[in-house]
Chain A
Amino acid sequence: MTAIQAEAGYAGDRKLLVSARNLRAAYSGPSGDVVAVDGVSLDIGEGDVIGVAGESGCGKSTLGAILSLTARPPLRVLSGELDVDGEVQDLTRMDRLARTWRGSVVSLLPQGALNSLSPTVRIRDLVVDVVRAHQRNTKRSDALDLARDRLTQLELPARVLDAYPHQLSGGMKQRVVTVISTLLNPKLLIADEPTSALDVSSQKNLIEMLQAMLEQRIMSGVIFITHDIPVLRTVSTRLAVMYAGKIVEINDTETLVTAPRHPYSAALLNSVLVPEPQLRQRRVQSIPGAPPNMLSLPSGCPFHPRCPYAMDECDEEFPPHVGSPSAYSACWWAGKHEGESLEVTL
């Protein structure tokens, strides 16, 4: 099976919401282009929360920028299209993009969102700005009503609209930004590290709010980008593991966490520290070596220099996608060991 076949269709049992095909993007730099996302295809179903995990520099956030249509120089999209309900957007032609797509079809909850509020602007003025950017003639009161209803619906106090950012706690700021970024009912919300700067209690609040928003159909799908696998375990329906700009394994969260089929997923899972009694009985292994230099990737599978299961094929050719289009592992080991999974210590 090849990457092309993996694009062919969405085999999940949910209705297809958004389909991203063959995304490829590069940062231009003094020493040449660095391809940060290379041939990623992703189908998102209704109600799906797709977790994207991987080490720093694996291309997770770049993927978020492409999908949220916010790629800007030095990042260039080399190829890729986004299919929403049969409407196809060519991602290489950002200038041809209907402005209404951003915010109402896809919306980005950026990394460090809680620092993205202007300290001198009350939340209510930001709300009006956001709504008017899309529907120019909206009355101020209508925009505020919309926001007030939304806040009440999610059981947040409506008085935050009158507050300045410094009057809100970090967790509350993050939730308010989330509400504002979904005011226009986007089909797909791309949340880039939304919980990383929060402590566990605020994390849980945000996750519960996202789940409430999905239930209430405020948005229909979420891409949740983080390096924190235990968080993804609680929030995501499907999990994609990225390495060196490619999705190396994708599967149902449950299956991937308990029975990974890619050595990199297994290594990531084994380095997770969660407060469970078994953790105190073992010595956690970190992944040997460092993530590859994206300017000169190793030949074949980019993970092979760090992989305990590396075989002869691994440094010769990039491994095929083993499995179905919606649940595969890009690994030679997985190809030879059908139906088997790698051991997770915890």
Chain B
Amino acid sequence: MSAADEIIDLPSAADDEGLPPALAGGEPGEVLLEAKRVTKVFGHGHSAVRAVEDVSFDLRTREVVAIVGESGSGKSTLARLVLRLMPVTSGTISLAGKDVTSIRGSELRDHWRSAQAVFQDPFASFNQFFTVRRLLMRSSRLRAVSDIDLEKALGHVGLKPDDVLEKFPHQLSGGQRQRVMIARALLLKPKLLVADEATSMLDASLRANILNVLSDLRSEVGLTVLFITHDIGQACYIADRVLVMSNGMLVEQGSTDEVIFNPTHPYTKRLLADVPKLHQGRTEAG
């Protein structure tokens, strides 16, 4: 309990106003990210695991695209490939027209400025001994950061700089921590934000808030979001398009309405049938 003791009440982001994420999209811009026949194989010979196999997709500017699939379907590996945290085995990835498949050194650092990520566990991504200010200032290793930048980035996620900058991570609630992580990513003014299960560890009541923040960022700063989740409800709420992965392969992609309410691939149908509903009665077994 001792960590919870000191959590301070902060005003939550002004998430009450604004458009529903599904309607906030508007016309997508030009192609930002393009993945062509991307394959990633771990190990070799008999023990080779084809974690991502022959995956092609593109993301347009200001789009929110969700990748859904079961555990082990290769969603997170794909995210790491896009972020260039690991090399692809074959295929190409390009961001804003530039091939980033095998860049190194300063070019790779440029790529990391353009593509930022927020991961699942907001606690694990903090250094417990650093204040929020010190944590955020570490971004200056990739881009010069001023106090005004800090304020702006925190403002985008609905936090007041004076409230959080001198706090330690254990003094923030889970939702606040995740918002600080998003602010950290925003400091680098990325073109692409990869959210890998960014809301999975949060309570349902906070989850909506983070999703609204992500959605609003697209109109505020023109952000493109690749949202990776196993929760179809979240994908349904926030995404313009949905890609479905199974066993490393992309089995279906299309607009959220098509994929979630009118799936064609048997795997997608099965996945959707397994999702517990709130209002369409109990499962057949019940």
Interface residues of A (CB under 8 A from B): 27, 29-31, 34, 36, 55-57, 170, 198-204, 207-208, 211, 227-231, 233-235, 257-258, 267-269, 271-277, 279-291, 293-295, 346
Interface residues of B (CB under 8 A from A): 1-2, 4-5, 7, 9-12, 15-16, 18-23, 70-71, 173-175, 203-209, 211-212, 230-237, 256-257, 260-261, 270-272, 274-280, 282-283, 285-286
Select from chain B the residue with minimum beta-carbon distance to A30: B2
Residues of B within 8 Å of A29, CB to CB, are: 1-2, 5
A283 close to B20 (CB less than 8 A) = yes
B236 close to A273 (CB less than 8 A) = yes
CA distance A204 to B232 in the complex (A): 14
Residues of A within 8 Å of B277, CB to CB, are: 230, 233-234, 274-276
Minimum distance in angstroms from A228 CB to a CB of chain B: 8
A207 close to B237 (CB less than 8 A) = no
B71 close to A199 (CB less than 8 A) = yes
Q: Which of A284, A285, A287, A293 has the most CB of B within 10 A?
A: A284
B205 close to A273 (CB less than 8 A) = no
CA distance A29 to B6 in the complex (A): 13
CA distance A50 to B36 in the complex (A): 49
Known A231-B276, A233-B276, A276-B279; further 8 A-B contacts with Cβ < 8 A: A229-B204, A271-B204, A271-B205, A273-B211, A277-B261, A282-B20, A283-B21, A290-B12
A233 close to B237 (CB less than 8 A) = no
CA distance A321 to B218 in the complex (A): 45
B21 close to A290 (CB less than 8 A) = no
CA distance A267 to B9 in the complex (A): 18
A290 close to B7 (CB less than 8 A) = yes
A274 close to B233 (CB less than 8 A) = yes
A-B contact pairs, 6 of them (CB 8 A): A170-B71, A271-B205, A275-B235, A280-B257, A283-B21, A290-B7
Minimum distance in angstroms from A280 CB to a CB of chain B: 4
A199 close to B230 (CB less than 8 A) = yes
CA distance A330 to B256 in the complex (A): 40
Of the candidates A231, A275, A281, A289, the one whose C-beta lies within 8 Å of that of B20 is A281
